[in-house]
């Protein structure tokens, strides 16, 4: 079952690449007492993700944070090394926190996963964005067409803040 607006997000451990290597990020700590924009996508370095979704959030990060958002987090069912390399290649810097959901735990527990086996990708995250306040989903935008980043893009989030 897909998580809904008004529900609390599950507590799972994601991974972030740091100067010292991969480091765990507990979702309970990431969201506690904060307003966070989360956007997720099927895979780092894939066309729509690299050409539209992540660049839109990097470009609009200052505008989003100016509306009271503490953190903008990008999630994908990739490991921390891939997410770190992709963030560096895309110029995410401090604008977007790049997090690996390597085992797909967050995607599965929120019901926002899908089976990409037909494309050789295994279980992946759907493309979506959400606004989270203190761990509770306030807005959820699931992309109906995974090859697009319109419903789940930065402009949609800006209009909802």
Would you please indicate which residues are annotated as catalytic (active-site) residues?
49
> What are the DSSP calls for 103-152, one per residue?
T-HHHHHTT-EEE-GGGT--EEEPPEEEEEETTEEEEEEE-SSTT--STT
Task: State both tokens at 54.
Answer: 């992540």
CA distance 2 to 93: 31
Residues 6 or more apart whose Cβ sits within 8 Å of residue 137: 3, 4, 5, 6, 7, 8, 9, 130, 131
Question: How many residues in total does the chain contain?
Answer: 161
């Amino acid at each position: 079952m897909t998580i809904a607006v008004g529900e609390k997000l599950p507590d799972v451990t994601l991974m972030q690449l740091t100067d010292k290597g991969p480091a765990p990020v507990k979702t309970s700590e990431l969201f506690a007492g904060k307003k966070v924009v989360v956007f997720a996508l099927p895979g780092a370095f894939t066309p729509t993700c690299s050409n539209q979704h992540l660049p839109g959030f990097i470009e609009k990060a200052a505008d989003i944070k100016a509306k009271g958002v503490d953190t903008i987090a990008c999630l994908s069912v990739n490991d921390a090394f891939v997410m770190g390399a992709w963030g560096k290649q895309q110029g995410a810097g401090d604008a977007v926190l790049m997090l690996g959901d390597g085992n797909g735990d967050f995607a599965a527990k929120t019901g926002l996963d899908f089976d990409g086996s037909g494309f050789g990708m295994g279980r992946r995250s759907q493309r979506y964005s959400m606004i989270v306040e203190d761990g509770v989903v306030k807005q959820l935008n699931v992309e109906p067409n995974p090859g697009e980043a319109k419903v789940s893009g930065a402009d949609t989030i800006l209009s909802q803040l």
